[in-house]
Structure 1
């Protein structure tokens, strides 16, 4: 089987699996316990925080461990909104955020916050001038993703951070789930106050997220109880998974430059081959991440395409895994001006370390076979 769904989850490194097993066997004490075994577990967590700080060049804040990217996004957004509501109740995000961000803002609207959902261009990019126009004296939070999880659009985070430095009351959150270990990120230089990530997107274990919180920024906790994670998130930490996540981050960051170059070459090859199939329409435009290719088959249900590709030994996806069972047209594609048919027929290909040119050729051949089989049924299955 050829696995082209790395945006949803990645296969863990063998070394990561081994590390997790070793820690599970040998370090099983509660890291909050006062005895030596508890202290040993706590030291491993603190060492893991240091790895995140060093590898992502952000030592000027706290690194919190959560249950995943969704919790990190929820904690960042709701935590800031509820903590700083006394300063103002205006929040800004975009129309194309991941569901964990988008639905967090929708929930905050029900609590009385006012949210501006910035439109994007036809290429899926935020316009800096529109963000500037949206800022008010009541704005306390701007949350904009680095790389879109469906079409791969790279947002101008550095320019946004530079703009927001003129508004010291505004806290800047970046969902970097799809960009960490794929693209360079300068947390301090770009003025990022909060940054979310997820271990299983960078070949680590599932069930671990992380959240950078700049010094001086406080969060209203979503989970209360103990004082773990600097009081921002109560609950016993998952020591084996946290240590394994630090291992995955280190390994993925060390190979980032080589992987970026290789994936861009494979992406360009696949984009060219998809462009030769007239029934398929590519979505998004540069600048975009090298590991994501998105296309639509207008007039065809994407799950039909996905299941037929699987018959050819190819696994792909529709939109984000969190929303893949939702049969509504893609909110992201509608936001970039796609037709209803195009937005309802999207398929996402996401590349990984194991892919080579032969895999891209096999994928393109599979797509051609599927299209030839489905052409007689166009506009009947949507």
Structure 2
């Protein structure tokens, strides 16, 4: 019997409907979309065009503003390094947040080595950015602000529209990593004044290895310096033969998620609240992040009086859950997100991130709750 999967912020199982949409593009419609002289190329191009339309519609963008990448990490790198290279004559100051994904933090650190200045803004104890501090930090030489839509560890939702308005008013480009947000919360690049948005498929029951970067083309037109040259695909911004099956799968996953967003959010919030209400009956259980302004399927807690590694080990037979970002799970360092909330190392390491998804059930939540309470009590007794 495999453990119950509750790590949907790391990745999600592919929806069978998505796989069904993809399959013909592996075997029947296998052409290269750049081969425009025959039907094989046209078929691939048509599949890509449809996916591009779906993704653009989901965020209220235009089709030609969607650039396909290998995932959100590449999209983040393309956005941050691409803006830095294209606008360095205007300024070398970038603003981001201490709780960002490493795919944002590390490109910023790389740019610091090249002479850029980066302000890493703190968050308050519930994980939200102080908008007044953001206003104060923007300077005449600030070229980019990068703030993620939904945090991958604590699920906190930043006020994108407010941030976008602040950036727009000051003429600063606004990038958001929306890998965890697409298909889970409403996103509107026009209403929210978002200039660049990173997306990925595998967080919403689509394939791994495919993502996209939205790049605004009007009011203002955002310039991006290409980071991968050779072939001129994707408006010369991201060269390389497009992976048609994955792109088709991405489009299918977004379409399904958009159509079922409200229903799934209600279902996942109910499960999340059940977990929290039952586990929080124990003393020394701390909720990480704002309870209201967060993804419906996210619950992140720290547990006093237990060793984090021992807690994960005790839960393994029953539930597949993580203690932080899956991208840095091999690290023994405490989560940079939880330390940014002000937690000491011991508490930051003794955390659990429950990522509830489309295919989880109420019955599973009962088993997970029982296993978690049992593990915590047992470890505290032996401590």
Structures share fold, TM-score greater than 0.5: yes
Q: Which deviates further from its counterpart, 279-288 or 179-188?
A: 279-288
Match of 2:14 among 5, 12, 15: 12
Name the structure 2 match of 1:228: 233
Name the structure 2 match of 1:176: 178
Match of 2:134 among 131, 135, 154: 131
Name the structure 1 match of 2:29: 27
| Paired residues, number | 376
Name the structure 2 match of 1:288: 294
Match of 2:73 among 70, 73, 82: 70
Name the structure 2 match of 1:90: 93
| Match runs of 1:86-165 below 5 Å | 86-165=89-168
Q: Does structure 1 conserve the Cα–Cα contact (< 8 Å) formed by 2:305 and 2:380? A: no
Q: TM-score, normalised by structure 1?
A: 0.95
Structure 1 residues 149-180: Cα deviation after superposition (integer angstroms, max 9, x where no partner) = 11111111111111112112x11001111111
Q: CA deviation at 1:376?
A: 3.6
Q: CA deviation at 1:305?
A: 1.8
Structure 1 residues 24-80: Cα deviation after superposition (integer angstroms, max 9, x where no partner) = 011212211232112321222122111111222212751011111111111111111
Name the structure 1 match of 2:253: 248
Matched, 1:205 2:210: no
- Whole-Å Cα distance in 1 between the matches of residues 111 and 305 of structure 2? 36
Q: Does structure 2 conserve the Cα–Cα contact (< 8 Å) formed by 1:95 and 1:335? A: yes
Q: TM-score, normalised by structure 2?
A: 0.95
- Whole-Å Cα distance in 1 between the matches of residues 372 and 282 of structure 2? 9
Q: Does structure 1 conserve the Cα–Cα contact (< 8 Å) formed by 2:175 and 2:195? A: yes
Q: For 1:229, what is the secondary structure of its paired residue?
A: coil
Matched, 1:302 2:342: no
- Whole-Å Cα distance in 2 between the matches of residues 163 and 34 of structure 1? 43
Q: CA deviation at 1:88?
A: 0.3
Q: Which deviates further from its counterpart, 327-336 or 57-66?
A: 57-66
Q: CA deviation at 1:124?
A: 0.6
Q: CA deviation at 1:145?
A: 0.4
Q: Does structure 2 conserve the Cα–Cα contact (< 8 Å) formed by 1:279 and 1:371? A: no
Q: CA deviation at 1:373?
A: 2.3
Q: For 1:255, what is the secondary structure of its paired residue?
A: helix
Q: Which deviates further from its counterpart, 54-63 or 340-349?
A: 54-63
CA RMSD of aligned residues (A): 1.3
